[in-house]
A and B are shown apart, each in its own frame.
Chain A
Amino acid sequence: MTETTPGPTSAGAAPRGEWPLYEVFVRGKRGLNHVHVGSLHAPDDQLAIRHARDVYTRRNEGVSIWVVRSADITASSPDEKDPMFAPSGDKVYRHPTFYDIPDDVPHM
């Protein structure tokens, strides 16, 4: 469930004796995006895939798994929230609901 990346602990190498943290993404079924479902520890990529299968798809939740080391994710900074995301906030014309169409027009 970690979404801090690079976070306080994953910024550098993991301390000796601790397996690095991985983020897990699962495709629920064909046609859907992979969605972040949580995280886990594994010594390497191959075991991370296996751990993800065992930990996050025990109840038939997935058809495909991605794992990525938490430390390899570049995240936007919360301090940049406004410059990163505010400019798209006023461009309502990008959303279909911006356009008023009478209810009786078919196939719209």
Chain B
Amino acid sequence: MTTDITGPGGPAADAEAELEAQFQDTISSKDRIEPRDWMPEKYRKTLIRQVAQHAHSEIIGMQPEGNWISRAPSLRRKAILLAKVQDEAGHGLYLYSAAETLGATRNELTEKLVAGKQKYSSIFNYPTLSYTDVGTIGWLVDGAAICNQVPLCRTSFGPYGRAMIRICKEESFHQRQGYELLMTMMRGTEEQRASVQESVNRFWWPALMMFGPPDDDSPNTEQSMEWGIKTHTNDELRQKFVDMSVPQAEALGVTFPDEGLKWNEERGHYDFSTPDWDEFWAVVKGNGPCNEQRLAHRKRAWDDGAWVREAALAFAENPEGPTESTPAEEAAK
């Protein structure tokens, strides 16, 4: 969707090259692109896709942890978990707003999501099988997300970067609460410690896959880097995450399920085994343990809410009430 301020209806085609040069100058000088600036149509499309996927991930990401709100084992933890999942709704909202500045409405994007036409982070297609997973998700999944997201605060598109700044500030509470929960459980009973290790075993590999396919299998990375939408490659971020997580695991007293994980003095990084990329692609293509369930949940909430959204609009347009009569009134006639 474009209008005169952004593209085809605006500047003449022969001036396009000049605009593109200006645009690339702005990017090169690390300045930000703002919504009303001229931008290449492909940049807009790429951004919409990325921001939408990011927003969808936040919203779908409410479900795995939301699964344990009703069963949180202490009132204090219940409050923390509910506030955390609530934050994810907020993050989705900020991101949909950023996408909106590019001409994609929340309605459109949500329709695309529930129709299966847009993706979200595959990590949320894994099930949460114990309350402990709340802690593991906070530590590893939010930790991986933060690795991905902190660089995005400097992304070239202004509204996206600003949304990310706010999100990253709030996310730091998420990661800390997760790690703190696991630490507390490790001080608890034998069963609790075993539960922490079991949960970490399940989430380690999916967390590593959150950085996306290996660089040589990531077709969009190069262009996104050139445009300043992405600032680090998938493999760089994955390595950073592994290096960060190993000492945290040691402090916690758990291990990661990877025999190939060891410090490489020469590289100054940890070596680690290759994730199961077949599983990754299977989940991306819709065959993960929870793909259908997550989408069905979102679709149901969205569809069930339609009459409410409609009613509020009708009220805003005509606060005196419906002009049509209710079925009951109709029957009484």
Contacts and interface: CB of A to CB of B under 8 A. Distances in A.
Whether chains A and B associate is yes
Contact of B1 (A8, A38, A41): A8
Contacts of A14: 105
A1 B105 contact: no
Contacts of A19: 309, 312-313
A44 interface: yes
Given A8-B2, A43-B312, A77-B5, A15 B97 contact: no
Contact of B107 (A3, A4, A18, A59): A18
B35 interface: yes
A92 B159 CA distance: 30
Given A8-B6, A21-B100, A3 B158 contact: yes
Nearest to B105: A9
Interface string B90-106: 10011001101111111
B41 interface: no
Interface string A31-54: 000000011110110010000000
A3 B35 contact: yes
A44 B312 contact: yes
Given A7-B35, A8-B103, A17-B313, A40 B306 contact: no
Interface string B1-41: 11101100000000000000000000000000011111000
Interface in B181-237: none
A15 B101 contact: no
Contacts of B102: 8
Contact of A1 (B37, B83, B163, B316): B163
A39 B309 CA distance: 18
Given A8-B3, A38-B97, A3 B312 contact: no
A17 B310 contact: yes
A94 interface: no
A78 B103 CA distance: 17
A41 B83 CA distance: 21
A7 B103 contact: yes
Contact of B105 (A3, A15, A44, A59): A15
Task: Give the interface residue-count category, chain A.
Answer: 20 to 34
A9 B102 CA distance: 9
Given A8-B3, A15-B105, A19-B313, A2 B97 contact: yes
Given A19-B312, A43-B312, A44-B316, A4 B35 contact: yes
Nearest to B35: A4
Q: Which of A11, A39, A59, A75 has the most CB of B within 10 A?
A: A39
A18 to B, nearest CB: 5
Given A15-B107, A38-B94, A3 B101 contact: yes
Q: Which of A3, A8, A9, A11 has the most CB of B within 10 A?
A: A8
Contacts of B312: 19, 43-44, 47
B90 A58 contact: yes
Interface of A: 1-4, 7-9, 11, 14-19, 21, 38-41, 43-44, 47, 55, 58-59, 75, 77-78
Given A2-B100, A8-B6, 11 more contacts: A1-B98, A1-B101, A1-B166, A2-B97, A4-B35, A4-B101, A7-B100, A8-B103, A19-B309, A19-B312, A43-B315
21 contacts: A1-B163, A1-B166, A2-B98, A2-B101, A2-B159, A3-B35, A4-B35, A8-B1, A9-B103, A11-B3, A14-B105, A15-B105, A17-B306, A19-B309, A21-B100, A40-B93, A43-B313, A77-B36, A78-B34, A78-B37, A78-B38
The 6 A-B pairs of least Cβ separation, nearest first, read A4-B35, A43-B312, A8-B103, A44-B316, A43-B316, A2-B101
